[in-house]
A = this chain, B = another copy of it.
Amino acid sequence: MSGEADLLRRLRAMVSDPAARGLMDDVAVMPTMGQQLVFTSDTMVEGVHFRSDDPPETVGWKLAAVNLSDLASKGAVPVSCMLNYALTGNSGWDEGFLDGLGRALRSFGMHLIGGDTVALPAGAARVMSLTAIGEVPAHEQVPGRTGARPGDRLFVSGPIGDAGAGLALLDEGLKEPAELIRAYRVPTPHITLGQTLSPQAHAMMDVSDGLLIDAQRMALASDCAVEINNVPLSEAYVSLRGDSVEARLAAATAGDDYVLLVALSGTLAPPRGLIEVGRFKQGEGLTLRLDGKAIALPGRLGYEHG
């Protein structure tokens, strides 16, 4: 299997952290120094989490980005990662995938330290997992989903719905606006902002399945109610779909946003880079209020997959 030998050579060339042992051993070995380690893992499947015609560079970038976004939402500094990769019998695709993955790892200072490569039967859907490791200093809080309190304000770190609109465009065979396609294919994890917000966040996560469903999850975990009263849209989104209530509902249920969702004390001055989208209250459940009017919740709040 020269495909696998080639891939291993490429992977070894991507490796510099001594923890990786040059990818020549069966394990990676990382010394620790009392910090807290934060672990996250995401799997992407062709036809489910990315399109078969997405450029492989963007698939590699996205696999890193979705894991980095989870680290960002915990204020963690990216450290290292393990890749589980299924060879697809198309070495050009594999090469593009590793190029995109490597670019993301370099951009955010995350080191590849190990993993596994396997061969899938011919024709199988591509599948790949990344397990990412970040660190937070000892004794600093790592915000969860559970700490939001009545009176807290809820913020996001960027516009909602761009990625969903980009996917819809691709499904229709369209390529413009390019900004929306890029939001779907090459999301940017908000690593630095996550580190800044983490000490004061009552609760923090990223929006991966849709603003409504993820806000509902935070409220449920925190034993609060949440009212969403704003769905911030990008100019590109509005130019394509307008800003009607329907357009905002579509944005708020689309998923793949990879912006931070953070609950902060209602008395705190809103930090830069954040947009207020709602407020936590006593009680339970999710309500939606746009342009001052109560809006019935759509039947589907977002993606229910893991």
Contacts and interface: CB of A to CB of B under 8 A. Distances in A.
Interface string A237-262: 00000000000000000000000000
Contact of A34 (B29, B32, B70): B32
Contacts of A19: 39
Interface in A73-100: 73-74, 76, 82, 84, 86
Contacts of A146: 24-25
A288 B33 CA distance: 45
22 contacts: A24-B145, A26-B40, A26-B70, A26-B74, A27-B38, A27-B70, A27-B76, A32-B32, A32-B36, A32-B37, A37-B37, A40-B114, A41-B131, A42-B116, A43-B116, A47-B121, A84-B131, A116-B306, A117-B306, A118-B305, A119-B305, A127-B127
Interface of A: 1, 4, 8, 19, 21, 24-45, 47-49, 70-71, 73-74, 76, 82, 84, 86, 113-121, 124-125, 127, 129, 131, 133-134, 136, 138, 142, 144-146, 205-206, 221, 304-306
